[in-house]
Amino acid sequence: MSIRRLTERARARLSHEQGGMSIIEVIAAFMIFGVIAIGMLYSMTAMQRLTLESTLRQTASNLAAAEVDRIQSQPDAFDVHTNDPGGVGVVYPVDGVNFTVLSKVEWVTTTGSTGSCGTGGGNLQYKKVNVTVSWPGMYLQNPVRADSALAPDARINNPAYGTILVAITGEDGKGRSGVTVRVTPISGGAQPVTDTIDPTDSDGCSYILNVAPGVYKVEVEKVGYIDKTDAVTAVPFYPSQTVTAGATTTAAFTYDDASTFSVKWAGNHTSTPSLPNNLDTTFIGGLKNATKSTTASPVKLYPMSSGYQAVAGDPATCLNTDPGLWTSNSATYAGVRAAAVAPAPAPGGSANISVPMAVVNVPIPNNSSQYITAVQQTMSATGGNPGCATAKTYTFTTPFPKNSTQTIALPYGRWIIYVGTGVGVKTTAQSGITVVAAPVTPLDGTPGALTTGLGAGNSTVSGTTVNLDPRVTK
């Protein structure tokens, strides 16, 4: 190839390469520009957010300082409480932003512990104050915080006397206010408390200072409230609270607005049978079973969030009154209790509760009106029947007309039913008794698992002995 032709080809190629940018180069340039622009925009946005956050945190700091000043200005440390016992805080709107201020106040004792009402042990010293301020959409997650301490304006602890702290909390673990506190001297040099005992404050606390050493009874009361210990006590108490010189003792109660249950005895039957006047009803679901020997309704119980199951009779003395304690055998499925009922709202709510029972027809002789007495029979566990250690006698206080058939309801188990001329008179062990079968309601579709009722074919009458079995035949 000649030198001339090589020169021409080189010039043509150079002219082509210098003719402009390719499309790929243009796209690459725009991508680089976009990345730079996005970075600059993000930086500007972050700067704006940080600037706004700084302004908001300064406002929050001012609110926290104002809350500390408010608390420090209180003349008496005993009058200073958490500003919202519910733990949510108090909202202050500032320039369109809702700031939530929560001041948590706790006693610090001589042991260094903190707790509700100073119940962590040791004598009261001062109150620790923790203020937090938060607002919606905080850029930094930690709220603004301010801490302080508040000392009482006078000496709390007298070395010659003791202190009683009373702490009342509800089912949610929060304090209950307005509960009356009474302290009664019992023995050991105890003296009547002459100072006025204030009801519990918003933290659920009451403080009895300068108490002479000795043994005291401490009780609390508020209308409509029930104690958690046994679910039915309206005025709970510590029978012997010992106070020593220079020391602090604590009486803590879990005490709350009662749940109200409208009770339907023999609710597994469509009829309304007669009930024993001294019928025991046990409500299962609290710290321990709550047994009431009455057919008065409604019934008030401590507001357990899990609710209660109702059983006719007292399983503590006679196991086979509880259908849930009957086990399966070759012929029957295991028994079950009625489902638990939890009133809403809790505390203070109300609900209906059914008490499954066995129902029988009792013939009354034709000579005169008669009273019925049902005597529970003791027995050992056998065939899935959990047995009965201690028998109970149930009486009916209404005379039933002669030559009639009376329908009565009883707890499950083994019984002999008498008729007589007076309440509790057992003249004749009655025969000819028949059992009224209740509808069988499956639980979750499981054959034979009852929610309520008495399975047909499992209860038997043999002469004057009536066996009331809550299970279902396989």
Whether residue 350 contacts residue 259, with contact meaning beta carbons closer than 8 Å, is answered with yes
Same domain? 67 vs 104: yes
Q: Which of 216, 233, 257 is the last residue before a domain boundary?
A: 257
Specify the pLDDT at position 464. Answer: 96
In a domain, 48, yes or no: no
Confidence of residue 449 (pLDDT cuts 50, 70, 90): very low
Same domain? 115 vs 195: no
In a domain, 12, yes or no: no
- Residue 110 or residue 24, greater confidence: 110
Residue 30: is it exposed, middle or buried by C-beta count within 10 angstroms (0-12/13-18/19+)?
exposed
Q: Taking CA 276 as the corner, what is the angle to CA 416 and CA 292, rounded to the nearest 5 degrees?
A: 115
Residue 6 pLDDT exceeds 50: no
In a domain, 455, yes or no: yes
Query: How many Å is the Cα radius of gyration of the chain?
Result: 38
Whether residue 332 contacts residue 340, with contact meaning beta carbons closer than 8 Å, is answered with no
Whether residue 124 contacts residue 205, with contact meaning beta carbons closer than 8 Å, is answered with no
In a domain, 299, yes or no: yes
Integer CA distances (angstroms), 192 to 164, 206, 215, in order: 13, 17, 11
Residue 14 pLDDT exceeds 90: no
Q: What total number of domains does the chain contain?
A: 3
Range with lowest mean pLDDT among 35-44, 126-135, 416-425, 429-438: 35-44
Same domain? 324 vs 418: yes
- Report the greatest alpha carbon distance in the chain: 150
3-state helix, strand, coil in the chain (%, to 5): 15, 35, 45
Confidence of residue 443 (pLDDT cuts 50, 70, 90): very low
Same domain? 190 vs 274: no
Span 268-326, pLDDT tens digits: 888 899 999 999 999 999 898 999 998 999 999 999 989 999 999 999 999 999 999 99
- Residue 24 one-letter amino acid: I
The CA distance from 146 to 103, in Å, is 9
Locate 76 and state its tokens.
């008496």
Same domain? 276 vs 361: yes
Integer CA distances (angstroms), 130 to 22, 105, 261, in order: 66, 7, 41
Locate 57 and state its tokens.
């945190």
Same domain? 306 vs 432: yes
- Residue 457 or residue 242, greater confidence: 242
In a domain, 339, yes or no: yes
Span 372-398, pLDDT tens digits: 999 999 999 999 999 999 999 999 999
Same domain? 303 vs 393: yes
Integer CA distances (angstroms), 114 to 129, 198, 322, in order: 11, 22, 44
In a domain, 11, yes or no: no
Span 29-85, pLDDT tens digits: 667 767 776 766 666 665 667 677 888 999 999 999 999 999 888 888 888 888 876
Residue 399 pLDDT exceeds 70: yes
In a domain, 35, yes or no: no
Same domain? 78 vs 170: no
Same domain? 172 vs 186: yes
Locate 4 and state its tokens.
């001339």
Average pLDDT over residues 195-203: 93
Question: What's the domain range around 82?
Answer: 60-150
Query: How far does Cα 36 stand from its chain's mean position?
Result: 58
Same domain? 292 vs 375: yes
Same domain? 143 vs 186: no
In 3D space, the residue among 283, 290, 286, 277 whose CA is nearest the CA of residue 263 turns out to be: 283
Span 241-262, pLDDT tens digits: 999 999 999 999 999 999 999 9
* pTM for the whole structure: 0.78
CATH number at residue 239: 2.60.40.1120
Integer CA distances (angstroms), 218 to 162, 192, 260, in order: 14, 12, 26
Q: Does the bond joining 298 to the residue before it have cis omega, within 30 degrees of 0?
A: yes
Residue 434 pLDDT exceeds 90: yes
Residue 447 pLDDT exceeds 70: no
Same domain? 112 vs 217: no
Specify the pLDDT at position 53. Answer: 83
Q: Which of 257, 280, 298 is the last residue before a domain boundary?
A: 257
In a domain, 14, yes or no: no
